[in-house]
Amino acid sequence: MSFQAEKDLVRDYYAAQENAPAAALAEIESQYCAAELRWRGYHPFDEIAGPEAVARRFWLPLRQALSRMQNRVDIFFAGENRLPDGSGRWVVSMGHLMGLFDQPWLGIPPTGRMAFLRYAAFHRVETGRIVETAMYFDIPHLMLQAGLQPFPPQTGAHLVQPGPQTHDGLLFDPQPAARGDRTQALIDAMIGDLGQWQGGMPLEEELARTWADDMIWWGPAGIGATYTIARYARQHSGPFRAGFTNRSKTRHVARVSEGHYGGFFGWPNFTAEPTGGFMGMPATGKPGPFRVIDIYRRAGDKLAENWVFIDLLHFWKSQGVDILDRCTRLAGRDLT
């Protein structure tokens, strides 16, 4: 099954955004997106309805802050929603929005230097228009680049994250259907293994069922990246499971795979209750929502790389801590 029309639309949309003056952004959004566009983004943007509002509230301020902005895409694929009750054709991309950080954005002070906003996006396309978008971006990582400290130091590494080790993530051309089927089956098996949270086999043994031993987990700022099953279990998966209880079942809006790549997003993916210690935060006794986008690369019969976007600003605000407000107010005081 070909998804070339949908891919071409999104590629044209990205090119138009990148090449247009800021004043034309609303017109471009209206040209490529349906009037009833539903846009889901990272906190504080959350949900926005309609292309003009997306341009006004998100794209225009960001373009003014990151001058000469480029969309540096590392992964690009498309497919049908694989969920049993899902629908639609989705185009998925991941990379960095790079520019010169010349003006404040969301209260984050500019640096005058290059800055990278890592992102992942799912676009649902119908009748030649984008009708639904989920775009998660790592605002805490941008805060770190500006010298702010939104979270205590963590066990993972905080990096400008590269694309796939294999440099083959741009699936602009059609892919054999069987490859995408294998990728989706492996991702589904990994999701099923998450039920081991409540006990069962040892964590590293569980992970080895679906993950390569030399896996790389490219986590968000506040958690960080980690390499190999052993370090992933020690530096993220183990502490994460130990730091939460009452995890809900996984709920996704879309799961999409093509070739060796696949991913999903939820709104939220699940809820869990902090028991204390994770990311240096205390227990709250309050379930919180995790909005997540995951992008995967399959190598053979195992998952080799995983790029993870978690709306940590939204989660911690649900627990009574406004990370963005706290950090930007402190930064404003330092500038006066």
Chain segment 315-332, per-residue pLDDT in tens = 999 999 999 999 988 776
pLDDT, position 282? 84
Residue ranges of domains in the chain: 4-145, 177-324
pLDDT, position 190? 96
CATH class of 4-145: alpha beta
Q: Which run of H or E residues covers position 141?
A: helix 139-145
Query: By mean pLDDT, which of 4-8, 43-47, 156-160, 164-168 is the weakest?
Result: 156-160
State yes or no: pLDDT of 290 exceeds 50. Answer: yes
pLDDT, position 200? 72
Residue 74 pLDDT level (bands cut at 50, 70, 90):
very high
State yes or no: pLDDT of 281 exceeds 90. Answer: no
pLDDT, position 298? 98
pLDDT, position 116? 97
State yes or no: pLDDT of 198 exceeds 60. Answer: no
End-to-end CA distance of the chain: 58
Q: How far apart are CA 144 and CA 160, in angstroms?
A: 11
Q: Evaluate the omega torsion of the peptide bond into residue 268 and state whether it is cis, within 30 degrees of 0.
A: yes
Picking from 144, 16, 143, the residue whose alpha carbon sits closest to that of residue 71 is 16
Residue 334 pLDDT level (bands cut at 50, 70, 90):
low
Whole-number Cα distances in Å, 242 to 93, 233, 277, 279, 289: 32, 11, 9, 12, 17
CB burial string 259-279: b at 16+ within 10 A, e below: bbbbbbbbbbbbbbbbeeebb
Query: Which amino acid would we find at residue 264?
Result: F
Query: Which amino acid would we find at residue 325?
Result: D
Q: Do domains 4-145 and 177-324 have the same CATH topology?
A: yes
Percentage of residues of the chain with pLDDT beyond 70: 97
How many other C-beta atoms can be found within 10 angstroms of the C-beta atom of residue 15? 12
Whole-number Cα distances in Å, 96 to 60, 73, 161, 252, 334: 17, 7, 9, 24, 28
Query: Which amino acid would we find at residue 155?
Result: T
CATH architecture of 177-324: Roll (3.10)
Residue with the larger pLDDT of the pair 333 and 103: 103
Query: By mean pLDDT, which of 109-113, 177-181, 197-201, 236-240 is the weakest?
Result: 197-201
Calculate the dihedral angle through the C-alpha atoms of 222, 223, 225, 230, rounding to the nearest 10 degrees.
Answer: 160
pLDDT in tens, 17-41: 999 999 999 999 999 999 999 999 9
Q: How far apart are CA 97 and CA 64, in angstroms?
A: 13
Residue 189 DSSP SS3: helix
State yes or no: pLDDT of 196 exceeds 80. Answer: no
Residue 158 pLDDT level (bands cut at 50, 70, 90):
confident
State yes or no: pLDDT of 335 exceeds 50. Answer: no
**What average pLDDT does range 114-141 have in this prediction?**
97
pLDDT, position 195? 64
pLDDT, position 329? 86
Percentage of residues of the chain with pLDDT beyond 90: 84
Q: What average pLDDT is seen over the chain?
A: 94
Token couple for 22 = 């800021």
State yes or no: pLDDT of 54 exceeds 70. Answer: yes
Residue 266 pLDDT level (bands cut at 50, 70, 90):
very high
How many CA within 13 A on the CB side of residue 30? Answer: 7
Q: How far apart are CA 268 and CA 290, in angstroms?
A: 5
Q: Which residues contact 12 (CB under 8 A, 6 or more apart)?
A: 32
Q: How far apart are CA 7 and CA 93, in angstroms?
A: 10
pLDDT in tens, 78-97: 999 999 988 899 999 999 99
Query: Which amino acid would we find at residue 82?
Result: R
Q: How far apart are CA 271 and CA 288, in angstroms?
A: 5
Query: Which amino acid would we find at residue 333?
Result: R
- 107, 328 contact by CB (below 8 A): yes
**What average pLDDT does range 145-162 have in this prediction?**
85
- 110, 104 contact by CB (below 8 A): yes
State yes or no: pLDDT of 267 exceeds 90. Answer: yes
Q: Which run of H or E residues covers position 262?
A: strand 261-265
